[in-house]
Amino acid sequence: MAEIVVVGQVARDLVLKVEEIPDEGGSTEVLERLELLGGAANQAVGARQLGWSSALVGVVGDDGAGRAVLASAREDGLDVTGVGVRAGGTTALYVDVVESGGVRRLLEHVPEDVLLTPADVRAAEPVLSAARAVLVELRQPGDAVRDAMGAAARGGALVLVDGHPEDSRVRDAVLSSATVVRADDAEAAALAGRELDDVRDAVAAARDLVSRGPAIVALAVGSEGNVVAWDGGHAVLPLLGGAPVDPTGGGDAFVVGLVTALLRGADPETAGWEASAAAALTVGRLGGRPELDADRVAAVAQAGRREAARPS
């Protein structure tokens, strides 16, 4: 059984690199095109690259795209026994349009019929209950999210939730039962219930969220990097690496770096540096697919930490 299980949208990623997005009515040449296994699978692939067995829980359609993403997932060594194939369903598609300067626009097609249901979660119960860590994408429907978190907790797994739930009742349940909460900029504001203006504000919001249940809260703060808070402390982690080629997948890689470090017994601050390193190693490439390596993650994390500790 897999050590790390990712619950979320299993999708096809179509990455299109263009010089510049065309004007209204215009057209442009695509300079580079990638078609990849995407969505939540990027976290599972990253975990696998860092040496952990991993599995997916989600739903695809019974279409050509669904068959292609399942075949890719198997090639990547992922356990897909927890992925449902919806009869008549259309596999989700994320179109990632990236301009040469690194600016990204995301067009997301997630048909309702390939969202996770409680029945899908029940079918995946063996996978969920055997995991050491379960990563749950909160954009899935609230009832399925709660059931997946419940199954993970009964098995004694570390439960990381990613994003923020649309439904406020789900939010309270999530905060009280998750081990780790991770949110990007927009999601962090939604979780906090207010705009977060700067790092200080984000630290206060993260500490407040910790007081409501989770052991660790990690919030993105735009170009300032990330804030990680835990009971009794916090750390501010700058973005590592150079200018991003494509920000897609940075958040997913951050989550993978964080969780794998915590599973190894790292303290939250060390885990935060490894998370930042994993994100940096992903946004330097086109498309959200990670290409992680435990030694490189550790090296980039240590270099970043030393640099930050140096008196300026």
Question: Between residues 25 and 311, which has the closer beta carbon with respect to a second copy?
Answer: 25
Residues in contact with a second copy, shown as a per-residue x/- string from 91 to 110 under the rule CB under 8 A: --x-x-x-----xxxxxxxx
CA distance 296 to 277: 8
DSSP string, 86-106: ETT---EEEEEEEETTS-EEE
Question: Between residues 20 and 198, which has the closer beta carbon with respect to a second copy?
Answer: 20
CA distance 12 to 115: 14
Total residues in contact with a second copy, by rule CB under 8 A: 29
- Our finding on whether 88 is near a second copy (CB under 8 A) is no
**Owner of token pair 């040449």:** 29
Question: Between residues 33 and 154, which has the closer beta carbon with respect to a second copy?
Answer: 33
- Considering the complex, what minimum distance in angstroms separates the CB of residue 134 from a second copy? 25
Q: Which residue type is seen at 139?
A: R
- Considering the complex, what minimum distance in angstroms separates the CB of residue 25 from a second copy? 6
Host H or E run for residue 58: strand 54-61
Question: Between residues 242 and 311, which has the closer beta carbon with respect to a second copy?
Answer: 242
Question: Between residues 22 and 126, which has the closer beta carbon with respect to a second copy?
Answer: 22
Contacts of 126 (CB under 8 A, 6+ apart): 1, 81, 82
- Considering the complex, what minimum distance in angstroms separates the CB of residue 222 from a second copy? 10
**Owner of token pair 């994408």:** 137
Return the ∠ at Cα 74 (arms to 115 and 152), rounded to 5°.
50
- Our finding on whether 226 is near a second copy (CB under 8 A) is no
- Considering the complex, what minimum distance in angstroms separates the CB of residue 99 from a second copy? 8
Q: Are 312 and 261 in contact (CB under 8 A)?
A: no
Given candidates 1, 3, 53, 68, which one binds a second copy under the rule CB under 8 A?
68
The contact set with a second copy (CB under 8 A) reads 14, 16, 18, 21-30, 33, 64, 68, 90, 93, 95, 97, 103-110, 247
